[in-house]
Amino acid sequence: MSNHDEIALMAHLMRRAGFGADRDQLERLVAQGYEETVEQLVDPPADVPRADIDELFRYMPSLASGGPDTTPGAANWLYHMVNTQRPLEEKMALFWHHVFATGNSKVDNDNHLIAQIDMWRDHGMGNYRDLLVMLAQNPAMIYWLDNHENHKRAPNENWGRELLELFSLGVGHYTEKDVFECARAFTGWTIGPKMPRVPNHRFFFQYEFRPEEHDYGQKEFLGHRGNFDGFDIIDIILEQPACPRFIVRHLYNFFVADETQVPAWNIEPPRDPEAIEELAGVFVDSGFELKPVLRTLFNSDFFKEAMFQKVRSPIETVVGTLRMTGDLQGVQRELPQVSQASAHMGQSLHNPPSVEGWQTGRDWINSGAVVGRINFVADRVSNTELPGVRRIVERVAASNGQQMTADQLVDQCVDLVGPLDVSEQTRLELISHATEEGPLSWAGDDNWSRSSERVGEMLALIAATTEYQFG
Partner 1 sequence: MTTSSKDPVLVVIQLSGGNDYMNSVVPYADGHYHDARQGGLRIGADEVLKIDDEFGLHPTMGPLKELYDQGDMALIHGVGYPNSPRSHFRSMDIWHTCEPNKVGTEGWAGRAIRDLDPAGENPVTGVYIGQGLPRSLVVSGVPVASVADLSTYGLLTSIEQEQQRDKMLGRFVNMYGRAIGTGAVREYLGRTGLDALKGADILKEGLGRYSSEVEYGTEQISRNLRDIATIHCADLGTRLFYTQLIGFDTHANQQPVFEKLWTDLSRAISDFWDDLRAHNADDNVVMFLFTEFGRRVRDNGSGSDHGAGGGCFVIGPNVRGGMHGEFPSINPKDLDQGDLVPNHDFRGVYSTLLEDWLRLDAVPIVDGQFEKLSFVDPLVGAA
**Contacting residues toward partner 1, per CB under 8 A:** 68, 103-106, 108, 198-200, 258, 311, 340, 343-346, 351, 353-356, 359, 361-363, 365-372, 374-375, 378-379, 382-383, 423, 425-426, 429-430, 432-433, 436, 457, 460-461, 464-466, 469
The single-letter DSSP state of residue 296 is: H
Q: Cβ closer to partner 1: 317 or 469?
A: 469
Q: Cβ closer to partner 1: 40 or 359?
A: 359
Asked if 82 and 52 count as a contact pair (C-beta separation under 8 A), the reply is no
CA distance 468 to 464: 7
Q: Cβ closer to partner 1: 159 or 298?
A: 159
Q: Cβ closer to partner 1: 37 or 150?
A: 150
CA 259 from centre of chain:
15
Closest approach, Cβ 368 to partner 1, in A, equals: 3
Closest approach, Cβ 38 to partner 1, in A, equals: 28
> SS in 3 state form for 173-188?
CCCHHHHHHHHHHCCC
Q: Cβ closer to partner 1: 90 or 258?
A: 258
Beta-ladder partners of 209: 189
The SS3 assignment for 155 reads: coil
Closest approach, Cβ 25 to partner 1, in A, equals: 26
Q: Cβ closer to partner 1: 2 or 425?
A: 425
Closest approach, Cβ 140 to partner 1, in A, equals: 14
Closest CA to 103 of 132, 72, 78, 70: 70
The dihedral sign for the CA sequence 52, 56, 62, 63: negative
Closest CA to 24 of 324, 319, 320, 317: 324
Closest approach, Cβ 329 to partner 1, in A, equals: 20
DSSP-assigned states of every residue in 312-380: PPHHHHHHHHHHHHTTT-SS-TTHHHHHTHHHHTT--TT--SSTT----GGGG--HHHHHHHHHHHHHH
Closest approach, Cβ 466 to partner 1, in A, equals: 5
Is the previous residue joined to 419 through a cis bond, with omega within 30 degrees of 0? yes
Q: Cβ closer to partner 1: 296 or 426?
A: 426
Closest approach, Cβ 375 to partner 1, in A, equals: 6
Q: Cβ closer to partner 1: 226 or 368?
A: 368
* Nearby residues of 59 by Cβ (< 8 Å), 6 or more positions away: 331
Closest approach, Cβ 380 to partner 1, in A, equals: 8
